[in-house]
Amino acid sequence: MEVLHELCWLAHDNRIALCPEEKYRNVLDLGTGDGTWAIEFADMHEEATVIGVDMHRFQPTFVPPNCEFQIDNLEEDWTWSGCFDFIHARMLSGCFKKPRHIVSSAQLTPGGYFEVTDILYTPKSDDGTLVSNSPLRTWANQLASAAREIGRPLIGDASEYLDMLSEAGFVDIHVVVKNLPTNSWPNDKTLKEIGKISSLALELETISMALFTHGLGWDPEAVIATCAHVREEFKSPDVHAYFPLIIVYGRKPCRPGSVEER
Ligand SMILES: C[S@@+](CC[C@H](N)C(=O)[O-])C[C@H]1O[C@@H](n2cnc3c(N)ncnc32)[C@H](O)[C@@H]1O
């Protein structure tokens, strides 16, 4: 299993999504990346047709018959003629100039679900082992500045998605926050396992390179050096840090805009 997918799978309590499991017929995975989620969902739900959409083509060619990939820019007008009954978006923080517009563009049938999962790049610790001027916190602040600089701000808090879904008329909105420990420091067995995977999945250079070079004008060598420094703290068992992982989902009302649905 792809590492990021495995991380999300564990953080979703061994589920592919947290919104109610229904007999979905038309499913859309926004910014599908290598398509792992879309392929797995299609395998698990043979009754559904799953479209994974991304602006880059790096999805596999051999996929389940009920899964297809399309190349498109989600910031342009959406050209699907019909509606979906489940739209999924994972790890898209910092991808869009106007995430609010993406949420309000969601073409869902009444009763359909929208679910979004994102890491908040705001590291925390509950026992003071992550100090305020630590390399990890400094890196996270620089990452947020770089994203703002290029006009694609990172999601800073689950309430941002809650507001977006609410403004777009969604009801039954749920917010679930999980913790992704930076390494295997927790005693809890599941968190330890998640931490072990986080330290592999959260590739600091991959996350930082484009943002720091384009957003902050850094040389690639400086990014690599900073990441090496941050990684020491990231992997230190003495620093009990974690990143929040947020999962927010909501339902399109059966009768759009009806007062009783809200
Ligand atoms: C961090 S990856 C997440 C991939 C996948 N959702 C996952 O969870 O593994 C973000 C993806 O969003 C895609 N993306 C970014 N902006 C996009 C846009 N405007 N339209 C379509 N895809 C976009 C990128 O190409 C990339 O594959």
**Does pLDDT of 257 surpass 80?**
no
Alpha-carbon span 46 to 24, nearest angstrom: 10
Residue nearest to atom 8 of ligand 1 (CA): 90
Distance 98 CA to ligand 1 centre (A): 14
**Does pLDDT of 104 surpass 70?**
yes
The angle at the Cα of 17, spanning 24 to 148, to the nearest 5 degrees, equals: 115
Alpha-carbon span 77 to 129, nearest angstrom: 46
Residue type, 181: P
Q: Are 142 and 96 in contact (CB under 8 A)?
A: no
Q: What is the pLDDT of residue 1?
A: 59
Q: Are 153 and 126 in contact (CB under 8 A)?
A: no
For the segment 9-37, what is each residue's pLDDT rounded down to a tens digit? 999 999 999 999 888 999 999 999 999 99
**Does pLDDT of 131 surpass 90?**
yes
Alpha helices in the chain (DSSP H): 3-11, 36-44, 99-105, 135-149, 158-167, 189-201, 204-210, 216, 220-234
**Does pLDDT of 166 surpass 80?**
yes
Alpha-carbon span 52 to 88, nearest angstrom: 9
For the segment 37-57, what is each residue's pLDDT rounded down to a tens digit? 999 999 999 999 999 999 999
Distance 56 CA to ligand 1 centre (A): 8
What integer best gives the mean pLDDT of the chain?
93
CATH of 3-251, picked from 3.10.50.40, 3.40.50.300, 2.40.30.60, 3.40.50.150, is 3.40.50.150
Q: What is the pLDDT of residue 22?
A: 83
Of 78-82, 152-156, 219-223, the poorest mean pLDDT is in 78-82
Q: Are 177 and 162 in contact (CB under 8 A)?
A: no
Alpha-carbon span 77 to 9, nearest angstrom: 31
Q: Which two tokens stand for residue 86?
A: 């489940």
User: Quick one: which of 252, 16, 248 has its CA closest to 112?
Assistant: 252
**pLDDT category, 5, cuts 50, 70, 90?**
very high
Ligand 1 pocket check for 73: Cβ under 6 Å? yes
For the segment 143-165, what is each residue's pLDDT rounded down to a tens digit? 999 999 999 999 999 999 999 99
Query: What is the three-class DSSP state of 212?
Result: helix
Q: What is the DSSP letter of 241?
A: E
Q: What is the pLDDT of residue 225?
A: 96
| Ligand 1 nearest atom to the CA of residue 29, by list position | 6
Specify the length of the chain in residues: 262
Q: What is the pLDDT of residue 262?
A: 41
Percent of the chain with pLDDT over 70: 97
> For a pocket test of ligand 1, which of 2, 74, 92 has the largest count of ligand atoms closer than 8 A to its C-beta?
92
**Does pLDDT of 181 surpass 60?**
yes
Q: Which two tokens stand for residue 125?
A: 């610790």
**Does pLDDT of 258 surpass 80?**
no
Domain ranges of the chain: 3-251
Mean pLDDT, residues 94-110:
94
